[in-house]
Structure 1
Amino acid sequence: MSEQQNPFDNDALDFLVLLNARQQYSLWPAFAPVPAGWHNAAGPLTRSAAIEFIEANWHDMRPATQQTSSTAH
């Protein structure tokens, strides 16, 4: 029995960088359909280039709605 590699970990595949309405990014295999609520922000790219894009552009992991509503106590 051959071991199948998780497509998200496969450096040989091309990837998309997806973005949703909450300004959250996702690494996505280019062969897979883009899920509802997400759109292609970059790609297709190599896996490493897609990860670099996400690291360069996603500065705050919180959803956009929480980024603008900070409260001081």
Structure 2
Amino acid sequence: MMFTDLVCLLCIGDDRFSTLKHTRPFAKKDPLQKHLNIHVANGEFRQGFRCKHPSCSEWIEGLGHFKNYAAFVHGV
């Protein structure tokens, strides 16, 4: 599924947040990249994981794979 807004594909599937927070759009790619750096610092790319988008189940192996996948599949 492609998005019309820039959203964090790690936060979007996080049920700890309100719908408003985990689908929060970013106005530009730079703020989204800074936000993604928080996930990197928290170690969320140390192990593989399933894409957290509700309609997806792609296995993600590392930050590089995530960035390419997010751009080409989800348009983020």
Output the TM-score relative to the length of structure 2.
0.33
Rg (Cα) greater in structure: 1
Output the TM-score relative to the length of structure 1.
0.34
Higher relative contact order (CA 8 A, sep 6+): 2
The structure that is strand-richer by fraction is 1
